[in-house]
Chain A
Amino acid sequence: MEVIYILWLRQLKKYFRSRSRMIGSLAQPLLFLISLGFGFGPVFQRAGNGNYLEFLAPGIISMSVLFTALFSGIEIIWDRQFGFLKETLVAPISRLEIMIGRTLGGATVATIQGIIVFFISLLVGFRPVNWYSLPIALFFIFLIALLFTALGTAIASMLEDMQGFQLIMNFLVMPLFFLSGALFPINNLPKLLLIITKIDPLSYGVDALRATLINQSYYPVSLDFSILLILVVFLFIIGSYLFSKIEI
């Protein structure tokens, strides 16, 4: 337990110490909220879909959670090279403990990032429909964070170096975000795109957040929750397995 705690604490300390990273990662969501939120707002309104900023904010919160979580998972590659992973691998602790500690740490950092973006969206003009559902929203943010930290860990365990990193950015992170319904409503999509959004796990995260924050959703929240939970468990098992196979 203490081992998991200290691994978790390490991720948090590192996060709070690198302010530049923290601030840098907030610029993008802010830009998206302002440019898309206000840029597409009038069109969205005219199409009879209501306030676009309200619709967009949960999507942008999910985006920042997705980015932060995946990258914290991928930090394993970094640790593997700049040495620190070895320190944990030769210690008399199990790989599962290491994996749990790291994943919880990464997911917590991503959750904090999501909360900060939530506050930014408040500044820009977003208002959730009811404040008492915020704890549930927080829970979903954490679930999304866990899911993608575990995915990042699984990917990082298979990669030897940062060469493949750009590839992941282009072929995984961007499609996950753009094809999730974070930016547009899923109803009335062309058939192919609809199928793709159904495969994209982030869709369910975005949908659940929308359900809790603005009371609009495409799927029932229980379905979102079940799919997210199953994926978290599944990816965690896969990640643990791949992580246990790392040889240095």
Chain B
Amino acid sequence: MSDAKHDISASFKNMQGCHVCLTLNKFIHSRCQSCGAKLHSRIKHSLQNTIALLITSVVLYIPANVLPIMYTNVLGQKTANTILGGVISLWQSGSYPIAIVIFVASVLVPIGKIIALFWLCIGVATSKIRSHEKSHQLYRMTEFIGRWSMVDVFVVAILVALIQMGNVMSIYPGAAVIAFGGMVVVTMIAAITFDSRLIWDPLNRE
């Protein structure tokens, strides 16, 4: 903030960058003069949409954890597994590395991502962001890491595909797969909808 003179955002100079081809346009244009894409200096209703999507993902996260993510059928004995139940049984059977991978990808990352995005939205809405750099890094991390939650959906799909031996041993998917997959997609859209430029906007007002 010491060299605020050099920290000038495009919007402060009545300019806006095209989000498609990065060409700098004047504010008065509604379409990019170079590629014709619709221009928006900031994503419209970014915070509202992000928060709405985050609430959706919280709602989806409940059935994703309560309902079974898969059923295993061994010699006619059917057992239902939830995400957390699967992690615990993996841990008890001594497969610590996979237990940790699944726990991080399906529990820590989604929860961390939802909390981080809520935190950023609230910070921007109340203009109480202390470190712009750190907030931006947090955003970048949520955007990068969010897709990796999908690992659990893929694991269930592969197990279902491979283990089909009738009553000897079979694995079937549970309803939580849909809720969990939906949650991953919704949180990804939430991260895309969040406009990281809002983090830096308070600097322009000073």
Pairing of A with B: no
A contacts, CB < 8 Å to B: none
